Amino acid sequence: MSWIEIDVERDNQVIRVSARGSRGERIAAFDLAPINLGRLTGLASGVRRAVSASSALPEHVITGARELHAAFFRDQLRDLLVRLGEVARAQDRKLLLRLMIRDPELQRFPWEVMCRPETARDFIGCLPELLVTRGVNSTEPYENREIRRAVRLLAISPLGEEDKLTSLKAALHESIAEGSLQWLDPIVGDQAAGPRLFERLRRSDAPHIIHWIGHGGTDERQNPCLYLVEDGAGESGFLLAETLAQELRTNLGAELRLVVLEACSGARPGAFASAAEILARDGADAVLAHLWPVKAEVARDISTVFYRTLTGTRDGMGDVAASLQATRRTFIERGAEVFSPVLYLRGPDSRILDFRKRRLVAPVAGLTGGALGEVDPALGNLLRERFSLVLGGSGAAIPGHAELLRDLVAELGKDGEKDAERLGLSAVAQRFSLRHGKGKLSRLFQKTIGTTVELEAPPFIRAIARALRPGAHTTLLWLPFLEQTIADLHPGRTIHVIQPAAPGSGEARLILTRAAGKPEWEENDDPPPDVDLDRDFMIFRLYGGYSPETQPVLTTPQLTEDDHIQGLIDLRDIFPPDWECQFVGWLRAHPMLCVGISVLEWRHRMLLRWLLDQRPPSRVSVAVVAPENNEKDIWDRGAGGLFGQGTVRAVAMALPDLTQIIEEVKP
C-alpha cells in the first residue's frame, strides 16, 4: 500500500511539518507560516462550536481550513502527494496519509478539516481517494489477520448508559441479521468496575471490535484514563489507558482489531485523544476516538454507517480509514459533527479486517424462532423497542406456586373437599382461609414460599429483564425475582418499587429505592421527587410478599379471592399522586408484554381493566399465553371487550421457548 507519513511538531507558536513516502522519499521540515498555534487554536474553536451546535461549519472556518491546506500541502509535499496518489491508483488502491502527532495540543486539533482551496466540501477527511489517519510509534508488530465469519463487537458502558447500547444494537440490526456482525453480551455498569471488567473480558468471546461508551480524562499525574462506575463511597473510579492496553494486548491481541471510544454527553473535549494514542500503540490495530462529545442520535447514526461500511460485503470493505472517510461524506451536509471522530492507526495498512476468505452465515432469525418454527412478528417487533411488562404468576415455572397449591389442596383433602386442584390458586387459598383462618394460611405460605426466597430467578425472567428498559412495569409475583434481576442486569439504573399493603393488614404501603450504582435498597416514607421513567425503572408489586432487599422482608401477601377483590378496590389509593400519573401515563403510551397473565382468571382481567382503563393498547402489544390453556383465540378476539376496541396479539408459547426467542430477537 502506498503511504505518506507526515510529522507535525511545534516549537512554542511555530508549527513544523516534515514527511516521508512509502518509496523512501523524504521531505525536510518546513514551517506552516502564516499558520501558527494561535491560528490553529482559533480554527479548532470554530469547529468545536459548530459541533456543539450541530450546525454546518461557518464560512470563516472553511476559509481558515482552506488557508491551512494551502500552507500544509505546498511545494515538495504537494508534489509527493500527487506522485504517490498516481501510484496508488495504478495499484487500484487508495493513498494512506498518516499524521504523526505527539504534542497534546496538536492532537486535539481536527486536522481532517483541511479543505482544498477553491472548493466548498473537499475536506481531506472526506476524500474518497485519500485515507487520513493518525499514526503512532509502536514496537508492536502489525499483522493482517483473516476474518472467516462475523465480526464480533463487544460494547462496554461503565456508566450504564443502556439507552445508547440499545440504540446502537437496534441500529446495527441489519448487519447482525445478515451475519456480518455478531453482537456480544455487553459489559455494563458494575460489571465494568475494577477487576470485574478484566474478568468479563477474559470470559467473553474474543471481540474484533470494542465499543466503549463513557468519559475520558487524566489522573493526578496527567496519565490518560477512562472513567468507571462510582464505587460505594460515591467516588468515580478510573482505569489507566495504559493498563487497559496491556490487558487487551495480553488477552485479546490475536483477535482485537479496533477500539471505538465514544464520548458520552458531558465528556471533556479532547479527553479521548491521548487515550486513543496509547490504545493504538499497545492494544489494538486501530482506535476511533471522538475529539468532542456529540448528540446521542448523531453518534448512533455515525456508528451505524461506519460499522455497516466496515463489515459489509462490498469489495474493499474491512478498511477502517476508508469506512470513516465514507461515513464523513454521508453526513457532511448534516453538520460539523463528522469531524469529531478521528482515527489512530498503528500499521501501514488501514485494511485491518481481511474478508477475502469470509463466508457469511446468517444467525437464526429472531422472527423465525430457529428450531421453534415461525414466530409471530408482533413479538419480535415488541422486543426491539421499549415496552411495559405485566408479569403474572400463572404456570408451574414460578418456584413455589405449584408447591403452595399442592400443599393447600392436600390440607383441603383432609377436610373432605374433592378435586380442589381444578380450582385456581386464589380460589383454593380462599377455601383454606374460610376453613382454617388467615393465620394458618399465612404460616403455610411462609413454610412453602419462604424456602424458595434464595433461589435464582427462572431463566425466562432473566431473559425478559435483560431485554427490559426503564419505564413502568408490573409484577404479580410474591418473590422479588424481577426486581432483583433488574438490579443485577441494569446496575447503572435507579429502581423504584412500590408495594401496596394487604387489605385489612394495617400496614403502610412499601416504597423501596435502589439507587444507580448502589448495592442496597432504601425504604422511603415519602416517594423520591425526581423519578424519570425515561431513565429509571418503576416496579409495581401488586400482590406483596417478600421484598427485594438483601435480607427479604415479608409483608402480608394477597392470596385469597377476597384479598384480590379488596386489593383492586383499593388500587386508587396505593400510589402517591405524582407516581400514579407517571406510571399509568407511561404504561398507556407504550406497548405491553403480558407474561403469565390469563384472561381466564378474573383477577388478571380486573388488573388489565385498571391498567388500561378499557383503552386500546398499542397494536403491537403481545400476550405470551400457555399453549395448554387454549386461550389464544380469546385474546385475539379482544378478550370479550377487555381492551375497548383494541386487541392484544396472543402468542401461544412455553416459557423456555420464550427465553430462546428473547435471546435471539432482543435489541
Question: CATH no. for residue 226?
Answer: 3.40.50.2300
Q: Answer yes or no: do 416 and 385 share one domain.
A: no
Is residue 666 very low, low, confident or very high in pLDDT (cuts 50, 70, 90)? low
CB-neighbour burial class of residue 195 (10 A; exposed 0-12, middle 13-18, buried 19+): exposed
Q: Answer yes or no: do 68 and 114 share one domain.
A: yes
Q: Answer yes or no: do 287 and 200 share one domain.
A: yes
Q: Which three cell numbers stand for residue 222?
A: 496527567
Establish if 75 belongs to a structural domain: yes
How high is the pLDDT of residue 647? Answer: 56
**Sequential DSSP letters for 220-239:** TT--EEEEEEE-TTSPEEEE
Q: Answer yes or no: do 520 and 553 share one domain.
A: yes
- Indicate the average pLDDT of the chain: 82
Is residue 316 very low, low, confident or very high in pLDDT (cuts 50, 70, 90)? low
Establish if 72 belongs to a structural domain: yes
Question: How many other C-beta atoms can be found within 10 angstroms of the C-beta atom of residue 82?
Answer: 11
Tally of structural domains, the chain: 4
Establish if 353 belongs to a structural domain: no
Higher-scoring residue by pLDDT: 492, 456: 492
159-163, 368-372, 635-639: range with lowest mean pLDDT:
368-372
Average pLDDT over residues 637-666: 73
For 378: left if phi > 0, alpha if psi spans -120 to 50, otherwise beta; the answer is: alpha
CA dihedral (332, 152, 378, 393) positive or negative? negative
Q: Is 601 a residue whose pLDDT tops 70?
A: yes
Establish if 104 belongs to a structural domain: yes
Q: Give the Cα separation of 254 and 181 in Å (integer).
A: 18
Higher-scoring residue by pLDDT: 398, 128: 128
Task: List all residues 6 or more positions away from 406 whose beta carbon is below 8 Å from its beta carbon.
Answer: none
Write the pLDDT tens digit of every residue in 92-125: 889 999 999 988 888 889 999 999 999 988 999 9
Is residue 221 very low, low, confident or very high in pLDDT (cuts 50, 70, 90)? confident
Q: Is 619 a residue whose pLDDT tops 80?
A: no
14-28, 357-371, 509-523, 561-575: range with lowest mean pLDDT:
357-371
Among 107, 135, 163, which residue terminates a domain?
135
Q: Could you tell me the pTM of the whole model?
A: 0.56
- Which single residue is written with the C-alpha cell 499497545? 282
Strand order in the sheet with 592-595: 522-523, 510-514, 495-499, 537-541, 471-475, 388-391, 592-595, 622-625, 649-652
| Cross-strand pairs, 471 | 537
CB-neighbour burial class of residue 338 (10 A; exposed 0-12, middle 13-18, buried 19+): buried
Q: Give the Cα separation of 183 and 173 in Å (integer).
A: 9
Q: Give the Cα separation of 251 and 200 in Å (integer).
A: 11
> What is the percentage of the chain residues whose pLDDT exceeds 90?
29
Q: Give the Cα separation of 15 and 82 in Å (integer).
A: 23
How high is the pLDDT of residue 49? Answer: 93
Q: Is 646 a residue whose pLDDT tops 60?
A: no
Q: Answer yes or no: do 31 and 79 share one domain.
A: yes
How high is the pLDDT of residue 30? Answer: 94
- Which single residue is written with the C-alpha cell 478521528? 342
Q: Answer yes or no: do 519 and 442 share one domain.
A: no
Establish if 285 belongs to a structural domain: yes
Is residue 372 very low, low, confident or very high in pLDDT (cuts 50, 70, 90)? very low
Establish if 145 belongs to a structural domain: no
Specify the pairing of strand 187-188 against strand 181-183: unpaired
Q: Answer yes or no: do 94 and 182 share one domain.
A: no
Q: Is 23 a residue whose pLDDT tops 80?
A: yes
Q: Answer yes or no: do 525 and 464 share one domain.
A: yes
Task: For residue 49, give its domain range.
Answer: 3-135
Task: List all residues 6 or more positions away from 515 whose beta carbon is below 8 Å from its beta carbon.
Answer: 494, 522
Q: Answer yes or no: do 651 and 562 share one domain.
A: yes
Which amino acid belongs to residue 607?
L
Q: Answer yes or no: do 317 and 462 share one domain.
A: no
Average pLDDT over residues 598-624: 75
Q: Answer yes or no: do 115 and 190 share one domain.
A: no
Three-state DSSP at 502 gives coil
Q: Answer yes or no: do 383 and 445 share one domain.
A: no
Q: Give the Cα separation of 582 and 231 in Å (integer).
A: 30
Establish if 364 belongs to a structural domain: no
**Rg of the Cα trace of the chain?**
30
Establish if 511 belongs to a structural domain: yes
